[in-house]
Amino acid sequence: MNAEDRALLLRAVQYHDFQAFSRFDSSFFEEDILLTDESSGAQLPLLAMGIREACTRRAGRMEIPYEWDDFLTFLVTHCHLDVNKPFEIRGRPSDISSKFPYTHKFQQEHSSVTPPIIDPSCLIHTNAFSWAFYTCLQKGKYIRGNCLSCIISLIYLGANVNDPFLLQIAHGHMDPEGDLKWNELNGHSFLHLALESGSHLLLDRLLDKKAKFNLAHDRGSLAKAIANVKDILPKSFDLNYDIYYIFRHLKTYIESGHLDAAYRQVLRSADPTNGNTPFHYLALLKDLRGSQFYVDFLLEIFVNPWARNHAGLTALQVLESTIMTSETPNKQALRKHIQDAMERWYDLVMRTMVTHEALQARRMPLEVQEELARSVSGTFPMDGRMSQAASMKARIMASRRKGP
């Protein structure tokens, strides 16, 4: 590809110029095409550049013809791009903003407005879906707007939602600490990343496509979702809306059988950074409405309301420590529902203990005991771990002695 064709193709991607693509024969896209990020000098494959542009707004773009849903769908279809094929990015692309300044596609000075910020030795190994998540999460933990549309487009273009997140950054010199954090995310599921971001719309799309958690990597997904909705939603957004639909989607797919017991274990796990469970983060919400629904759901998936975080606090103690928030009817209701949940949990543990002790006394084979225990309502699932009931009882008795 000569320099003129490369420049024309870059402008076509940047400004969604559908007509410009018609100037290239279909055979033109059979080879791997690299386009240069003008602000950093990084070289990105055509699809990676298309995703990057899909996550931004740029003045002067063409209108999308009625026969296409969006530009990314056109790009993948017209250029016969494989959305599941891994690729490499050479150099470090600059961080994208939500909106590029006005630049006309025929202005020659466009490519030299600012000197590029170069990290030429940086090498990024990734794929389209992972690159889209990385691009979106770079802008902020909450995925919305153009970023959300980009990821949803890739889902419907056939991106494998159950591949693990893949973004390996090597030989970078500008942000080694940040690169390490991204590398540590490798192996997590996209369902975990979407839930953690607090985007109920993306969560619904992924669950609809039967996305699963990665049991070996994902921890604290729901807890982090509540924390992120609390911390990063714009002030104009009502967090009650997002929280409600996150819980509603999860409840729907659990009841449908899509998220089984193993995946519910991921949902009830605590945030590994501080030990906060979903109950702890609910207690930190300033004015949560309809808290009974959330408390009931957390008990349904066996989140322990007596659990203590790394600071040694229960959710109720965290709620009482929020002295800076006013005493509202919603806060009073949440306190009552958490207290009630603690009593219900204690009753649940005691019923489980009694059930398992009775089955053990009958000296039945372990498999028979487990099958009978599962048929008893109001007890924990204890598959293969009968001693858990006694352990839970001991922990709760210790917690009760310490006080809530």
Question: What pLDDT does residue 384 have?
Answer: 44
Domain final residue, candidates 158, 187, 216 = 187
Question: What pLDDT does residue 99 have?
Answer: 46
In sequence order, the 6+-apart residues with CB closer than 8 A to the CB of 38 are 10, 110, 111, 116
Residue 216 lies in a domain: no
Question: Whole-angstrom Cα distance, residue 30 to residue 154?
Answer: 20
**Rg of the Cα atoms in the chain:** 25
Summarised one tens digit per residue, pLDDT across range 30-82 is 889 999 998 889 999 999 999 999 998 888 898 888 878 889 999 999 999 99
Residue 135 lies in a domain: yes
Shared-domain flag, residues 52 and 173: yes
User: What is the number of other CB atoms lying within 10 angstroms of the CB of residue 97?
Assistant: 10
Residue 255 lies in a domain: no
Q: DSSP secondary structure string, 165-219? A: P-EEEES--S-HHHHHHHHHTTT--HHHHHHHHT-HHHHHHHHHTT----TTT--
Nearest to 204 by CA among 148, 155, 246: 246
Percent of the chain with pLDDT strictly greater than 90: 54
Question: What pLDDT does residue 365 have?
Answer: 72
Q: Which residue has the higher pLDDT, 142 or 21?
A: 21
Number of structural domains the chain divides into: 2
Shared-domain flag, residues 169 and 286: no
40 within 8 A of 116, measured Cβ to Cβ: yes
Task: Count the alpha carbons within 13 Å of 75 in the hemisphere toward its beta carbon.
Answer: 27
Q: Is the pLDDT of residue 137 over 80?
A: yes
Question: What pLDDT does residue 38 have?
Answer: 86
Q: Is the pLDDT of residue 15 over 50?
A: yes
Shared-domain flag, residues 143 and 290: no
In sequence order, the 6+-apart residues with CB closer than 8 A to the CB of 6 are 33, 35, 36
Q: Which residue has the higher pLDDT, 332 or 390?
A: 332
Average pLDDT for the chain: 85
Residue 254 lies in a domain: no
305 within 8 A of 261, measured Cβ to Cβ: no
Q: Which residue has the higher pLDDT, 115 or 317?
A: 317
Q: DSSP secondary structure string, 295-359? A: HHHHHHTT--TT---TTS--HHHHHHH-TTS---HHHHHHHHHHHHHHHHHHHHHHHHHHHHHHH
| Confidence band, pLDDT 50/70/90 cuts, at residue 360 | low
Question: Whole-angstrom Cα distance, residue 299 to residue 132?
Answer: 35
Summarised one tens digit per residue, pLDDT across range 275-302 is 999 999 999 987 899 999 999 999 999 9
Mutual orientation of helices 46-54 and 3-14 as an angle, nearest 10°? 30
Question: What pLDDT does residue 372 have?
Answer: 63
Residue 241 lies in a domain: no
| Confidence band, pLDDT 50/70/90 cuts, at residue 255 | very high
Summarised one tens digit per residue, pLDDT across range 144-170 is 888 999 999 999 999 999 999 999 999
Q: Is the pLDDT of residue 306 over 90?
A: yes
Angular region, 242: left φ>0, alpha ψ -120 to 50, beta rest: alpha
Q: What share of the chain is helix, strand, coil (3-state, %, to 5)?
A: 50, 5, 40
The pair of three-digit structure tokens given for residue 25, joined into one six-digit string: 């024969």
126 by DSSP, 3-state: which? strand
Question: What pLDDT does residue 370 have?
Answer: 64
44 by DSSP, 3-state: which? strand
| Confidence band, pLDDT 50/70/90 cuts, at residue 111 | very low
Shared-domain flag, residues 7 and 150: yes
Side chain identity at residue 196, one-letter code:
E
Question: Whole-angstrom Cα distance, residue 46 to residue 69?
Answer: 19
Question: What pLDDT does residue 101 have?
Answer: 43
Q: Is the pLDDT of residue 223 over 90?
A: yes
Domain final residue, candidates 187, 211, 240 = 187
Residue 90 lies in a domain: yes
CA angle in degrees (0–180, nearest 5) for 353-355-357: 65
Residue 121 lies in a domain: yes
What long-range pairs does 250-255 form, CB within 8 A, spacing at least 24?
Answer: 250/203, 250/222, 250/297, 251/297, 251/300, 253/207, 254/300, 254/301
Q: Is the pLDDT of residue 115 over 60?
A: no
160 within 8 A of 189, measured Cβ to Cβ: no
Lookup result for tokens 């990063």: 232
Question: What pLDDT does residue 110 have?
Answer: 43
Domain final residue, candidates 187, 206, 230 = 187
State the average pLDDT over residues 114-126.
79
Nearest to 87 by CA among 41, 50, 119, 57: 50
The pair of three-digit structure tokens given for residue 168, joined into one six-digit string: 């390996």
**Ranges 1-5, 166-170, 227-231, most confident:** 166-170
Q: Is the pLDDT of residue 220 over 90?
A: yes
Shared-domain flag, residues 278 and 142: no
Of 170-174, 185-189, 307-311, the poorest mean pLDDT is in 170-174
Residue 221 lies in a domain: no
| Confidence band, pLDDT 50/70/90 cuts, at residue 353 | low
Residue 118's domain comprises 1-187
Q: Is the pLDDT of residue 28 over 90?
A: no
Nearest to 333 by CA among 306, 278, 302, 293: 293
For the whole model, what pTM was predicted? Answer: 0.84
Shared-domain flag, residues 66 and 177: yes
| Confidence band, pLDDT 50/70/90 cuts, at residue 390 | low
Q: Is the pLDDT of residue 393 over 50?
A: yes
| Confidence band, pLDDT 50/70/90 cuts, at residue 106 | very low
Q: Is the pLDDT of residue 375 over 80?
A: no
